[in-house]
A and B are shown apart, each in its own frame.
Chain A
Amino acid sequence: MNILTHSPHAHARVSIHKVMITVMAALAPATLFSFWLYGWPAVNLWSVSLISAILAEALVLRLQERAVRPALMDGSGILTAWLLALSLPPYAPWWIAALGSVFAVVIGKQIFGGLGQNVFNPAMAARVMLLISFPLEITTWVPPAPPGSPQAQGILESLRITFFSQPLDGMASASLLGHVKTEFTRGIGVEQALAGHFAPLDALWGSRAGSLGETAALLLLVGGLFLIARRIITWQAPVAMLLGVAIPALIFNHIDGNHYAGPLLHLLSGGLMLGAFFIITDPVTSPNTPLGQFIFGLGCGLLTWIIRTWGAYPEGVAFAVLLMNAFTPLIDMYFKPRIYGRDRKGTALPVNKGA
């Protein structure tokens, strides 16, 4: 009672820990669905990601002589590893997940000074590192194999896939965007390439080859809307990113439907939903005003579409996010709220005694 404290003497019932837990809860449906879709290998990969992130963070904090418990308890490292795991191919070997998680937590976050200090989204930085360093492992997709299907893997089989790099002969498949890109380079148009490959309803539910958690567009959308409803994230960045992809896709598809894929394919494939609702809403690496967040999201969307359409890679969310992260300080500098009693430039409003 004798410790003096400044006002306010009340506090909203919020904490960083609670924020992170809510985000994890929003991710849970899509994650569980992906476990069902891809079976035990997906569970293994997800577990390896989380465990290596926790161990790496604890070690680094110990080396920095900082308190381990509070930094681990905020849950940010676990969330980063979770997001990374969702962006990996479900049958990827264990060391991909471990290396990615360690990179995300140590290089992506702690080297900058820990939570709140990093410039780039740690999960996306790790994914880009993996994509550039191990292109084969990170682009070997498999079609969904839910329990009961002939391709479904048992626990033992799954351990062999994850930990002993059992060859995936005859199982490998291309992701939708990868398929379109490959076919296009062979001179086959989008419409032809998609025939029999793209059914919007399947894409919505995620029944197609892709990353662990990014295929269930609908569940990710529901999770994202839940976060908006709980005021953990704001609508500006996600909506802007979806618009940033959909608008150019619509225009170009209208001009040349055989060369450019339509908005529905773009919106429902790749990591767009995951990116729009869970990656670019990372508070640390995104701008801090509503307008700034909208511009940031729009930039992420446009870059994603540009990379998907004209770049060498079939998917561009991770690159787009990293590029826009670099613009965040600039956006923050130019887009500030208007201060009460001042105009946009910061000069005081004129004295006006008249009615």
Chain B
Amino acid sequence: MTLLEKCFPKLRGGVHPEGRKELSAECPIRPMPLSRRLYLPLQQHIGAPATTLVNIGDQVLKGQLIAAAQGNVSAPVHAPTSGLITALGDHVSPHPSGLPVATITLESDGKDEWIATECCDDPFTLEPEVIAARVAAAGIVGLGGATFPAALKLNLSRNSGVQILIINGGECEPYLTCDDRIMRERATEIVAGIRLIALAVAATKVLIGIEDNKPEAIAAMQAATHDTQVSVVVMPSMYPMGSEKQIIQVLTGREIPAGGRPADIGVLVHNVATAFAVQQAIFLGRPLISRLVTISGGAIKTPCNVEALIGTPVQELIDLAGGYAEPVARMVLGGPMMGQQIIRTDVPVIKGTSGILALTAAEIGQSDSSPCIRCSTCVRACPIGLLPLEMAAHIRATDLAGAVTLGLRDCISCGSCSYVCPAHIPLVHFFNYAKGELAAQERSKLKQEATKKLAEARTERIERIERERAEAMAKRKAAREAKARAAQEEAEKAAEQTATETT
């Protein structure tokens, strides 16, 4: 890092996509009518899927644990409402593939009856370990979209000593306004959650980063953080400001070492919605069973922000927003820059679903790609300092090693390069393909090594058995021979004796 970069920390590269936040920013959070059927995938987080604790026909209460975390990196799933478990099995996943995934189907009984919850009168006296344990039990994951189990991050950070806690209120993805709304309407709860997180990791400095295109949210958060150690920092609006690496760079001037974690430089980053979920879990004992979702896009009739139960089918949210006003060219879960296209709307809202976008053809601006003219617009847009055009050329020539040397592993897949490419080359697609290919190669290498080890062990075992058998045979043979010799000697002796006796 040069001295200049240290003195004036700022985002390198980046792009200015059309915000389109005005579509839904002024719409207050709407409650969602109770859905008849909820679909709860066992995997809504990074890590191992949860294991089912219920059976078909079980009656469950709102907030009841229905699937437990499994392994070190995992998160439990709770019933978002009271009702009957009607199916355990595959349901279409909220993923571009639309492949079926293991899902618990819950039929609501309409009573929405809470399980007995454990409230906490003075949460700020809790031990850090207890806070982390309750966050884990509540099934809280990173709600910014990464869905990494939150408690795990708390424990890792506490163990490695974190000084700075950054709360991400950037929301740099176009269209999305759910973080904006939660900051405007639930600032007090968020700040309480932030203080709990700070307590859990013993952070000495807490910064909330908010982009300057959300003045109301900034004002609300500033009012709520008055008289606390928490400070609000206004950041310029630019994509990808809300990416972990970038927000750390802008707010602290530090950079995460390549291949490392924020904890390596004494920083922990959590999203504002995650802080709210932590407050709900510790103060009210409520697990993560709902989240804010922005329903927007040029094809949606009345774009809005709703608080939806996890497991609600996407189609019901679209219906709540009045359905479509224009032909839909593409349905996207998440933001337009990094979100995933879906082809069916019967998929459920999961913990990581920040937005549902129905985009028109004009909005997506799709066009056939033409040859690269090396204009290096992508180089100037890359917030990491990579050479997207060179990396794509290597990947096109199936030279993955070359792409890795150019920094493929440092790519954060933010999509800035694809967004600005005048030739409409799907650069990020190349990079994600290559990353997948590398992962597959590594897996197959590990598998080969394991197979080789097993084969070696087998050969050794067979040899050992052969050897032992040969030894045993030799021993037996020797014994037999000795016996035979003894018998012969005996016979000879006897014969001799007989001979002497007869003579």
Return chain A residues, CB-CB under 8 Å to B372. 116
A10 on the B face (CB < 8 A): yes
A338 on the B face (CB < 8 A): yes
Question: Do the beta carbons of B367 and A5 come within 8 Å of each other?
Answer: no
Question: Do the beta carbons of B330 and A9 come within 8 Å of each other?
Answer: yes
Q: How far is the CB of B153 from the nearest CB of chain A, in Å? A: 16
> A8, A338, A350: which has the most chain B beta carbons within 10 Å?
A8
A6 on the B face (CB < 8 A): yes
B residues 347-391 touching A (CB-CB < 8 Å): 357, 359, 363-368, 370-377, 379-380, 382-387, 389-390
- Distance A228 CA – B385 CA, assembled complex (angstroms): 22
Question: Do the beta carbons of B373 and A337 come within 8 Å of each other?
Answer: no
Q: State whether A340 and B385 are in contact (beta carbons under 8 Å apart), knowing that A5-B330, A9-B364, A16-B373 are contacts in the complex.
A: yes
- Distance A355 CA – B162 CA, assembled complex (angstroms): 10
Question: Do the beta carbons of A341 and B373 come within 8 Å of each other?
Answer: no
Question: Do the beta carbons of A115 and B371 come within 8 Å of each other?
Answer: yes
Tell me the nearest residue of chain A to B175, going by C-beta.
A10
- Distance A10 CA – B338 CA, assembled complex (angstroms): 10
Q: Which of A4, A7, A339, A354 is close to B428, meaning CB atoms less than 8 Å apart?
A: A7
Question: Do the beta carbons of B410 and A340 come within 8 Å of each other?
Answer: yes
- Distance A350 CA – B255 CA, assembled complex (angstroms): 10
Question: Do the beta carbons of A19 and B375 come within 8 Å of each other?
Answer: yes
Return chain A residues, CB-CB under 8 Å to B255. 340-341, 349
Q: Which of B336, B373, B377 is close to A8, meaning CB atoms less than 8 Å apart?
A: B336
B260 on the A face (CB < 8 A): yes
Question: Do the beta carbons of B17 and A12 come within 8 Å of each other?
Answer: yes
Q: State whether A353 and B383 are in contact (beta carbons under 8 Å apart), knowing that A6-B432, A7-B338 are contacts in the complex.
A: no
Question: Do the beta carbons of A339 and B364 come within 8 Å of each other?
Answer: no
Q: Which of B258, B338, B368 is close to A339, meaning CB atoms less than 8 Å apart?
A: B258
Return chain B residues, CB-CB under 8 Å to A337. 379, 382, 385-387
- Distance A14 CA – B18 CA, assembled complex (angstroms): 13
Question: Do the beta carbons of A341 and B364 come within 8 Å of each other?
Answer: no
Question: Do the beta carbons of A74 and B17 come within 8 Å of each other?
Answer: no
B134 on the A face (CB < 8 A): no
Tell me the nearest residue of chain B to A332, going by C-beta.
B390
B195 on the A face (CB < 8 A): no
Return chain B residues, CB-CB under 8 Å to A7. 332, 336-341, 415, 418, 428
Tell me the nearest residue of chain B to A286, going by C-beta.
B374
Return chain A residues, CB-CB under 8 Å to B160. 353
- Distance A342 CA – B259 CA, assembled complex (angstroms): 10
Interface string of A1-29 (1 = CB under 8 A from B): 11011111111111110110000000000
B22 on the A face (CB < 8 A): no
Chain B interfacial residues counted at CB < 8 A: 75
Q: State whether A289 and B375 are in contact (beta carbons under 8 Å apart), knowing that A10-B365, A339-B385, A350-B257 are contacts in the complex.
A: no
Question: Do the beta carbons of A8 and B264 come within 8 Å of each other?
Answer: no
Return chain A residues, CB-CB under 8 Å to B418. 6-8, 11
Interface string of B412-451 (1 = CB under 8 A from A): 0001001111111010110010000000000000000000
Q: How far is the CB of B118 from the nearest CB of chain A, in Å? A: 35
Q: Which of A9, A13, A339, A346 is close to B357, meaning CB atoms less than 8 Å apart?
A: A9
Q: State whether A341 and B332 are in contact (beta carbons under 8 Å apart), knowing that A9-B364, A10-B18, A12-B420 are contacts in the complex.
A: no
A residues 85-144 touching B (CB-CB < 8 Å): 114-117
Return chain B residues, CB-CB under 8 Å to A14. 377, 420-422
Question: Do the beta carbons of A5 and B366 come within 8 Å of each other?
Answer: yes
A residues 277-307 touching B (CB-CB < 8 Å): 283-284, 286, 288-290
> A1, A114, A341, A355: which has the most chain B beta carbons within 10 Å?
A341
- Distance A6 CA – B417 CA, assembled complex (angstroms): 13
Q: State whether A283 and B367 are in contact (beta carbons under 8 Å apart), knowing that A8-B336, A19-B422, A340-B245 are contacts in the complex.
A: no
Tell me the nearest residue of chain A to B414, going by C-beta.
A8
Q: How far is the CB of A228 from the nearest CB of chain B, in Å? A: 13
Q: How far is the CB of A29 from the nearest CB of chain B, in Å? A: 23
- Distance A346 CA – B17 CA, assembled complex (angstroms): 30
Interface residues on A, range: 35 or more
A70 on the B face (CB < 8 A): yes
Q: How far is the CB of B448 from the nearest CB of chain A, in Å? A: 28
Question: Do the beta carbons of B364 and A349 come within 8 Å of each other?
Answer: no
Return chain A residues, CB-CB under 8 Å to B363. 9-10
- Distance A354 CA – B266 CA, assembled complex (angstroms): 7
B402 on the A face (CB < 8 A): no
Question: Do the beta carbons of A10 and B336 come within 8 Å of each other?
Answer: yes
Question: Do the beta carbons of B245 and A341 come within 8 Å of each other?
Answer: yes
Q: How far is the CB of B9 from the nearest CB of chain A, in Å? A: 12
A336 on the B face (CB < 8 A): yes
- Distance A70 CA – B66 CA, assembled complex (angstroms): 57
B44 on the A face (CB < 8 A): no
Return chain A residues, CB-CB under 8 Å to B366. 5, 11
Return chain B residues, CB-CB under 8 Å to A76. 373
Question: Do the beta carbons of A18 and B257 come within 8 Å of each other?
Answer: no
Q: Which of B385, B389, B420 is close to A338, meaning CB atoms less than 8 Å apart?
A: B385
Return chain B residues, CB-CB under 8 Å to A116. 371-374
Tell me the nearest residue of chain A to B246, going by C-beta.
A340
Q: How far is the CB of A291 from the nearest CB of chain B, in Å? A: 11
B47 on the A face (CB < 8 A): no
Tell me the nearest residue of chain A to B266, going by C-beta.
A353
- Distance A6 CA – B371 CA, assembled complex (angstroms): 19
A251 on the B face (CB < 8 A): no
Return chain B residues, CB-CB under 8 Å to A229. none
Q: State whether A348 and B429 are in contact (beta carbons under 8 Å apart), knowing that A7-B340, A10-B365, A340-B383 are contacts in the complex.
A: no
Further pairs besides A14-B420, A116-B372, A338-B385: 8, Cβ < 8 Å: A8-B338, A10-B18, A10-B359, A16-B422, A19-B422, A339-B410, A352-B265, A352-B266
- 30 of the cross-chain contacts (CB-CB < 8 Å) are A1-B331, A5-B366, A6-B432, A7-B415, A8-B17, A8-B337, A8-B418, A9-B341, A10-B18, A10-B337, A10-B363, A10-B419, A19-B422, A70-B370, A116-B372, A283-B375, A288-B376, A336-B387, A340-B245, A340-B256, A340-B384, A340-B385, A340-B410, A341-B258, A341-B410, A348-B260, A349-B257, A352-B265, A353-B264, A355-B266
| Pairs of residues from A and B, 3 with the lowest C-beta to C-beta distance, nearest first | A288-B376, A8-B415, A11-B365
Residues of B within 8 A of A (CB): 1, 12, 15, 17-18, 96, 160-161, 163, 174, 245, 249, 254-260, 263-266, 328-332, 336-341, 343, 357, 359, 363-368, 370-377, 379-380, 382-387, 389-390, 407, 410, 415, 418-424, 426, 428-429, 432
